[in-house]
Structure formats: structure tokens, C-alpha cells
Structure 1
Amino acid sequence: MPGLSAPGVSLETQIVAGLRAASLLARGREEGLRFALLSMEGAARSFWAGVFCLLPFLLVRALGTGAFLSGTLPIELIGYVLGWVVFPLASLSLAEASGRGPLWPLFVAAWNWTNLVQYGALLAATLLGGLLPPGFGGSLILAAFGYALWMEWFVAKSALRISGIRAALFVLLDMAIGLFIASVVTRLSAG
């Protein structure tokens, strides 16, 4: 879809392109990057993926922690929003330090859209895991989490055109931020 990064492309067109990017990248196909937009507008619009991921997030949290029943939903939502904002901002510094700053909008757009697949995989594993014996269910959730990590590594490596080791630094940064936010949410929820 040439010209997707041009100003004035409709949001609907960019959402469809983002979904196509996610589908291809989820299968390890770098050509999905053609559908993620190399522009600040494309990166900004890719945050619509966060809106689409909200329902799977809420379902996973409710099934795992009972967030709907415990009254911690507002805190969970704040953590959710922070997860979508803090990592992209922190990754900009890492991308610039790697000499890949100009490719950062492409990375963020691809990262955002592939989150749809990651949340879908985690939701499916959580739902199926609840039907299976505990050992199998836990293994299924662990496999979905491993797949999500691989996908983020693949997106960082492909979009930023960096080595696998450097891509792993982006994954580690995201994990560290996610664990920090989760610990804060847990402390506030217990509080």
C-alpha cells in the first residue's frame, strides 16, 4: 500500500493496514512492515491498537485477578495506559542510541499493531488454560507469553534493522517497564 505514510490517509485505511501488518509480522514475515507506517502520523495513529486491545486486556485481567470484582479496575486501567505510553517513549532513547532514531516511528507502529496478536494469543491461552488441568493450562499461557516476546523481538529486529542481541535489549526494556508498572499497580490495588 504505497503512500500510507502520506498525510491525509484516512484513519480507516491506516487501521486496515495496521491489522495486515500485524497478521504478517505475527507469522514472521517482514513484508508486514510495508503496512506499518514510517511516519509520526502513522506511529500516532497506531495507538488505536490500544483501544482494540482493551477488551482482551480486561478479560485476561478479570480471569486472572478478578479485577472487575475487586474494585481495582481504575488502577488496572491506569497501568494499562502507562504500558502503552512509557515503553514507546523509552524505546525512542534506545533507538537513537542505536543510531536507528529515524526508524523509530516504524518500530512503534509495528509494535502497537502486533500487540493485537499478542493480546489475542494471551486471551486464547487464558481461556483454554482455564479448561485444561493446571499444569497444561500454565504451560499454554507460558507458551503464549513466549510467543509474544518472540514477536516483539522480531518486530524490533526487523523494523529497526538491528541485530538480534540489540533487539533483545528492546524486549528487556519493555519487560522491565511492564514489571515495574505491574508492581506499582499491585501495591496500589492492595493498598
Structure 2
Amino acid sequence: MAVSSGDIIRGVWGAWRLAKRDVGGMAMFDISPDGAAKSFFAAVLAFPLYLIMAMLVSGAGWSRLLQPWPLLVETLGFVIGWILMPAALTWILPRLGRSGRLEEGIVTYNWAQLLITVTQFGLVLLFVAGLLPGPLSTVVGLGVALLCYLYEGFVLKTALEVEIMIAAGLVVADVLVSRLLAEWVDLIVQASL
């Protein structure tokens, strides 16, 4: 199950096409159990960006990530956060009568999360560089967050072939659980410094 550069290109390109609301992007993905497993490589690509964002946002600098305990906690938080939705889909989809769409859901979610992480990374860089002053940073931050939520909802609706309210519910659950997890990770890391 080696991940090739072609797998990465097709995954990113499919996610990009979905970001442009082109449902033809679904054809780019390897929708098989092997493709679902390979799609978790998107997390490997996103992880360095996540660590850099954690360092920049915390204000603690590299010291936060160069200590073993904070690095372990951040890593575990990232891994848990990344696998929560795919794990939830394995439980939720059979109850919705959509268990046949599990691979589509996992593959598209993983590659879409990579695009969302890249977008968040770019936004954090703009904030840190001071290119978004005062209230503009709040407006842009909220706007980007909203666009990311809408994108995730579109991806889930398209991949799972569910109604918009079900996709919206999945996004809300993902956001709330991810936020809670991020707070726990931050509290544990802050307590260890």
C-alpha cells in the first residue's frame, strides 16, 4: 500500500475540484478500501503545517514543540482529530443506510482536510506577518472559517450522497468535537510548560 505521487496529485486535484463545487472531482479519487487507507497520507502532509501553526498561534515559540511531552500531546491531538470523522462515519453511515459510501466519505474527507489545513496555514501566516490589521483579521478569519465549513459540508454531501442537513450536522459535530479536543490539547500542553 505504498502511496505514489500520482495518488497524492489525484487526491489533491479531486479535493481542489470539489472546492470549486465541481462534483466531477469525485472521479479523481481512488474509491476503494486501499484508496481509503492511502488517503490518510493527507494527514502526513498536513502534520508539519499543523505543528508550525500550533507554534505560531501559541506564542510559546519552538520551545513548545521541542519538548517531548508537548510534542507528544500535540501529535496525539492531531492524530485523534484527524481520525474522528472517518471513525464516526463507520458508525453513522450504516444507521443512515449509506454504508456503501464509507470509502467515498473517508477519501474525500481526508483530502479535503489537507486543503483546509493549507488554507488555515496561509491565514495564520497572514496573521503572524501582521498583514491583516485589527478588525480586518477577525472578519477575514471568520470568513475563511465559514468557507471551510461550507466546503466540508459540500464534500460530505457529495461523497455520502446525503441531504444537506445531514452533512451540516456532521460538520457541526466535527467542529464542536475538534474545538473541544483542541482546548484539551492546549490545556495539557500549557500545564506541562
Same fold (TM over 0.5): yes
CA deviation after TM superposition for structure 1 residue 190, in Å = 2.8
Bigger mean CA offset, 39-48 vs 69-78: 69-78
Offset, 1:129: 2.5
- TM-score when normalising by structure 2: 0.87
Matches within 5 A, 1:161-176: 161-176=161-176
Q: Does 1:78 align with 2:71?
A: no
- Which amino acid in structure 2 is aligned with residue 54 of structure 1? F
Q: Contact (CA 8 Å) 1:129, 1:140: kept in 2 or not?
A: no
Equivalent position of 2:97 in the other structure: 99
Q: Tell me the amino acid that sits aligned with residue 94 of structure 2.
A: E
1:54 aligned residue (47, 68, 77): 47
Q: Relative to structure 1, is the Cα distance of residues 9 and 48 closer, same or farther in structure 2, using a 3 angstrom cutoff?
A: closer
> Deviation per CA, 1:144-175, whole angstroms, max 9, x where unpaired?
21111111100110011111101112112211
Residue identity (%): 26
TM-score (norm 1): 0.88
Name the residue aligned to 1:138.
138
Q: Is the Cα–Cα contact under 8 Å of residues 36 and 42 in structure 1 kept in the other structure?
A: yes
Match of 1:4 in 2: none
Contact 1:126 1:137 (8 Å CA) reproduced = no
Does residue 40 in structure 1 map to residue 33 in structure 2?
yes
Task: Provide runs of 4+ in structure 1 moved above 6 Å.
Answer: none
Residue 52 to residue 9, structure 1, CA distance change in 2 (3 Å): closer
Would the aligned equivalents of 1:129 and 1:141 in 2 still touch at CA under 8 Å?
Answer: no
In the alignment, structure 2 segments of 5+ residues that lack a partner are none
Say yes or no: does 1:129 pair with 2:127: yes
Moved more, 47-56 or 135-144: 135-144
Cα distance, 1:15 vs structure 2: 1.7
Q: Which residue of 1 aligns with 2:8?
A: 15
2-structure distance, mates of 1:108, 1:188: 29
Partner amino acid, structure 2, of 1:96: P
- Partner amino acid for 1:43? A
RMSD over equivalenced CA pairs, Å? 1.8
Deviation at 1:183, TM superposition (A): 2.5
For structure 1, the 5+ residue unaligned runs are 1-7
Which residue identity does 1:83 align to in structure 2? G
